[in-house]
Amino acid sequence: MAESTLFDTYLGNIRDTLFGEKKSPRNVEKEYILPDGTVYEPYYDKAYLDEREGARVNREQGTTFSGPDPDQIHYEQIQERNSFNDWFNLDSVAKIESNNMGDARSKSGALGYFQIKPHVAKDPGYGIKPLVTVDGTYTEDDILNTPRERQEDFVYSYLKQAKFIFKDDKPKTILSYLEGIPGTKNIASGKKKISTQGIGYLEKYMLNGDLKKQEILKSFPQLKNNPKFGNMIREDGTKKSSTGWLGPIKHEDGKTMTEVSVNFDDVLDGAEIPLIVPTLTNKEINILRKTNIRTGTIPKSIINKAIKHALERDAQGLSPFYSDSEGRKK
């Protein structure tokens, strides 16, 4: 290729370019003459060029350019995300919402791993970042085709903001994903009753190990006397047997008893054990039918049998509670 003084001059004048940067009508750098005689204006505004020039000078001088370090910002974002996942793992949301099925669709129009509704994905409000979809159309297919990582980013933005709004209250933060932030505020303040669906939603996270019963009751004390909450869930979050060692027993108040979980500080480190065990007599069972389990006095003979049963089962490496897979032993 023949040498060209004009072209060499042009190459010496031109700066590095950033693909896709829009041209600004103001603050553009001085014009350059292209080899064909036309005028060239760089597609950068002056602030960007000054920053690049400053960075170039500082590198030559061996000094550090002012401003945030992009690598440090990225590291802090990762740390913040990890800290949130330690507080509440987002994998639980996908498990509870869709059983980790990417093509899941609900009757209410929720979609994907995290059951995101299109109108919420597009405009969630409360400073939450909208879902970044593949096509930006927010159709059902667009949301379903959006990678799980982006769906999770949206859920993270949503729940992080809810966590801030509800002052690190985990049960309220989790419930807001079902009821919405305004709805959860109304439930927490007593302006709205928590729905059966909402109770079941909290129980699912309890069974999954994300919430504890007392933690939920502290956030929503109105559930303490709600017969629909936690009847089939033990304090440790495990699910109760629907039959127990002796089958369902009808109490005088109309409720059905299967286990009647109790605990004692000096027995198995305070773990829950069943009060209804295979060695109870008919007379003792009838006493339980007539006794208020929460406030009444339980005979010592029943308590002793429950403790003995629990210790014997534990010594065998077995749970003191009845399991369908094991069957009843009398």
Q: What is the DSSP letter of 328?
A: -
The pLDDT tens digits of the residues spanning 165-174 come to 999 999 999 9
d(CA 252, CA 142): 56
At how many degrees (to 10) do helices 91-98 and 196-207 cross?
130
Cα dihedral value 219, 209, 113, 88, nearest 10: 60
The pLDDT tens digits of the residues spanning 214-240 come to 899 999 999 988 878 877 777 777 778
Could you give the domains of the chain? 5-61 (no CATH), 89-223 (1.10.530.10), 249-315 (no CATH)
Lowest mean pLDDT among 39-48, 63-72, 283-292: 39-48
At how many degrees (to 10) do helices 196-207 and 170-179 cross?
130
Residue 310 is encoded by which pair of tokens? 């629990």
Flag whether pLDDT at 145 surpasses 50. yes
Answer whether 0.75 is exceeded by the pTM. Answer: no
d(CA 42, CA 22): 10
d(CA 127, CA 123): 10
Task: Quote the pLDDT of residue 228.
Answer: 81
SS3 state at 311:
helix
The pLDDT tens digits of the residues spanning 51-109 come to 555 555 555 555 555 555 556 657 778 889 999 999 999 999 999 999 999 999 999 99
d(CA 236, CA 121): 35
**Mean of pLDDT values over 198-202:** 95
